[in-house]
Amino acid sequence: MGSEAQAADMFKCTVCNGNVKTGPDDVVITCTYCGITTTIEGKAIGDHLMETAVDEDARIKGFQDFLDKNKGMNKSLVKGAQIVENRLIYVPVWTAKVKADSYYKGYKTVQVPVQKTRTVRDSDGYSRTETYTDYETGYVPVQDEIHSDTDEPFLARKGARFYGLEGYLDTIKLSETVPYDYEKIKDLEPAMLNAEIGQEEFELAVHGRVADRHRSQAASGLAELFDCRTSTSVRGRTYLQAPFSLIRYKFEGDLYKAALDGHTGKVVQGEIPITLGQRIMWTLLGLIGIILAGFGGEYLLMGMNTVPDPDTMQILIGIAAAIIGVIMTFAGFRVLIMTQRTKKG
């Protein structure tokens, strides 16, 4: 591959001899010319899957459907949104079946009944001793096991993060993947991200993730967790390249974004603008809430001070009005300070 300086940022494809730009941490490379995927040393990576992707028009359609669904009072949102970026990115994902067995020790607290005595005085003034049951905190040792066998997708990148990417990874379905074939997607001109995490590092990382999950599950039912030891077995390891799309759009001069599942064209999550008209409406709602809360508090005090007996109905009306007013105030001024709303697809 030439000099060490070249090795840091250039990879010569073992199939087409194309020079592929790489990052300093890349360990699995996809050739941007022929699409072959190998390790940085040029070795095969074993099982290799991908999800097919929809074209640009389908992604735009899914994005517009998302805007239409969440436009609210902003009727001009769909027509007024101007797309300035619509990228299709194939992200590298390691995935495997991970069988995990954890053995843990700790203790939990219980309320233990304790018989006690006390001296009481009856209506005639005589003292006597009686026995009663009280409860004290006791400690019970716990020794138990946790077993799981789960699919574990793991983003094979250390630094790169995109808006909505983590939510997108949760939508990936291995049942909808196909054997990797660059010819099926090359006309879409996707950006192919290389992996910065290799097979061995993936197995160590996924062991830590599953072990942490088991530890958290064990600790949730205990007062204190003394020990938790987890062993894992990784099988069916696969390198998966999954299509993710990031759309950026302008509306009334401001820039917003949406993350899409490139396989289905549906939005995973996105930002919805809050217009000036909506801010005015929510501000008015907040002001009305302040007035209503003040009225409710005053009405409550009037009901409590009713002589000779407090007016129960008036008190209830005052409490209800105060609560509704506080909620309206909080909601109104919360929207006022927001730049946009984030909605799930």
**Nearest 5°: CA angle at 51, between 45 and 56?**
130
Cβ atoms of residues 47 and 252 within 8 Å: no
Q: What is the pLDDT of residue 102?
A: 96
Mean pLDDT of the chain: 87
* DSSP helix/strand/coil, 151: strand
pLDDT at 128: 83
* 113 lies in some domain: yes
What pLDDT is recorded for position 5? Answer: 36
For residues 165 and 172, give the distance between their C-alpha atoms in angstroms, rounded to a whole number: 11
Flag whether 258 is in a domain.
no
Nearest C-alpha neighbor of 95 from the set 168, 159, 151, 173: 151
Question: Where are the strands (E) in the chain, listed by range?
Answer: 10-12, 19-21, 28-30, 37-39, 48-50, 82-121, 127-155, 178-179, 191-192, 224-251, 254-261, 267-273, 340-344
pLDDT in tens, 86-113: 999 999 999 999 999 999 999 998 888 8
pLDDT in tens, 312-329: 888 888 888 888 888 888
9 vs 197, residue with greater confidence: 197
Of the three residues 126, 144, 162, the one that is the final residue of a domain is 144
In a domain, 306, yes or no: yes
**Residue 227 reports pLDDT greater than 70:** yes
Among 86, 112, 144, identify where a domain stops: 144
Based on the structure, what is the number of domains in the chain?
2
The identity of residue 278, as a single letter, is Q
Q: Report whether 232 contacts 214 (CB < 8 A).
A: no
State residue 276's pLDDT score: 65
* Residue 106 pLDDT: 95
**Does 331 reside within a domain?**
yes
The pLDDT > 90 percentage for the chain reads 44
Instruction: Tell me which residue range forms the domain holding 286.
Output: 276-344
Residue 288: predicted pLDDT: 87
pTM of the model: 0.72
The confidence score (pLDDT) of residue 314 equals 82
Please state the rounded mean pLDDT for residues 217-234: 93
pLDDT score of 300? 80
Interval 241-261 mean pLDDT: 93
Of 73 and 267, the one with more pLDDT: 267
Q: What pLDDT does 1 receive?
A: 33
Helix (H, G, I), strand (E, B) or coil at 120: strand
Report yes or no on 84 lying in a domain: no
Q: Say if residue 183's pLDDT is above 80.
A: yes
pLDDT for 2 beyond 60: no
Given pLDDT bands bounded at 50, 70 and 90, which one contains residue 6?
A: very low
Which tens digits make up the pLDDT trace of 330-339? 877 776 666 6
Q: Which of left, alpha, beta for 42 (phi over 0: left; psi -120 to 50: alpha)?
A: left
Residue 216, both tokens:
């958290």
Task: Choose among 87, 251, 237: nearest CA to 162.
Answer: 87
Assess if residue 263 is contained within a domain. Answer: no
Residue 3's pLDDT is 35
Q: Are strands 37-39 and 48-50 parallel, antiparallel or unpaired?
A: unpaired
The answer to whether residue 221 scores a pLDDT higher than 60 is yes
Query: What pLDDT, on a 0 to 100 scale, did the predictor assign at position 332?
Result: 73
Give the mean pLDDT of 212-218: 95
Asked if residue 197 has pLDDT above 70, the reply is yes
Q: Considering 89, 115, 144, which residue would you say is the last residue of a domain?
A: 144
pLDDT in tens, 8-55: 578 888 888 888 888 888 999 998 888 889 888 888 888 899 999 999
Residue 215 lies in a domain: no
Q: Tell me if 79 is assigned to some domain.
A: no
Query: In angstroms, what CA-CA distances link 335 with 231, 258, 280?
Result: 48, 20, 10
CB 202 within 8 A of CB 94: yes
